[in-house]
Amino acid sequence: MRLPNLLGHDTMKEALQQAASWVPLLNKQCHRDTKKFLCSLFAPVCISGVEEPIFPCRSLCEDVRDGCSPVMAAFGFPWPEMLNCSRFPHGNELCIPPAGPEDRQPRPKEDVVCAACLDRGHHEKEFMENFCSQDFALKMSIRSLTGVEGDLKVVPETRGRTLYRQDSWSEEELKRPVLWLADGDTCSCKELAGPGPVVLAMGHRVAGRLVISWVRKWRHGEKEMKRFSRAVRKLRC
């Protein structure tokens, strides 16, 4: 690798210290190229005879950003300006590209839990704590699940939905919302095991899609459900 790296770290010690804060994001498995993207910045490749640093391609940055920014936002962290994808070169220049199909060796689906579906405990408490950082939040029963190019298309039932929060939804989205779970067709999510169950879901608008960043089954009885619904409606974000 070359120093200083592409984030301005002058020593290996500094690079390791700063890189450590990104390990939790890797554990969320929000995109298959997250490690590749971060390593290209913290430990840029050094090629003999090439004097200029080799940056990640803009497409690599955009793919990882679109997959991981909803997860980061769920914990109160926006996509950082230092990772602004516009600063990276297009693919027609020398740069680190996204992984192609031939480079991917996915683990069995059952071994990889989707980031939005990780069980962190205190489900309703976590929902309340992260509610204001989301673009949408709703309670819904699932009508259908469809894999589309690696993502999971989630269509709620038209009846029985409770929309706790929505940021500039179109009239069509209000009538017939379509949600997406990034990489959801390549990872497991017991909360979205099939049509029927009632779930709490929240997330963000990413590239025109309503992307789920957090989802849990509704587990309480009627009294708790009403109490929780009233508490959410009283929140002022």
- Identify the structural domains of the chain with CATH numbers, from first to last: 12-103 (1.10.2000.10), 110-234 (2.40.50.120)
pLDDT of residue 222: 57
| The pLDDT of residue 39 | 93
The predicted pLDDT at position 218 comes to 79
Supply the pLDDT for residue 95: 92
Residue 164: count of CB within 10 angstroms of its CB = 18
Quote the pLDDT of residue 58: 94
- Within the chain, which residues score under 50 in pLDDT? 106-108
pLDDT at 62: 93
Output the pLDDT for position 105. 52
Q: Which stretches within 95-220 are classed as H helix?
A: 123-130, 171-175
Angle among Cα 91, 152, 82 to the nearest 5 degrees reads: 40
pLDDT of residue 224: 64
Contact between residue 154 and residue 178 where contact means Cβ atoms under 8 Å apart: yes
Structure tokens at 111: 């071994």
pLDDT value of position 153: 92
How many CB atoms within 10 Å of residue 96? 20
pLDDT in the model for residue 70: 84
CA distance 131 to 73: 10
**Residue 129 pLDDT:** 73
Question: What's the one-letter identity of residue 108?
Answer: P
Q: Are 202 and 71 in contact (CB under 8 A)?
A: no
pLDDT score, position 223: 66
Judging by DSSP bridges, how do beta strands 209-217 and 136-148 pair with one another? Answer: unpaired
Rounded to whole angstroms, what are the CA distances from 90 to 61, 95, 98? Answer: 10, 8, 12
The model's pTM:
0.56
Tokens 């704590």 found at: 129
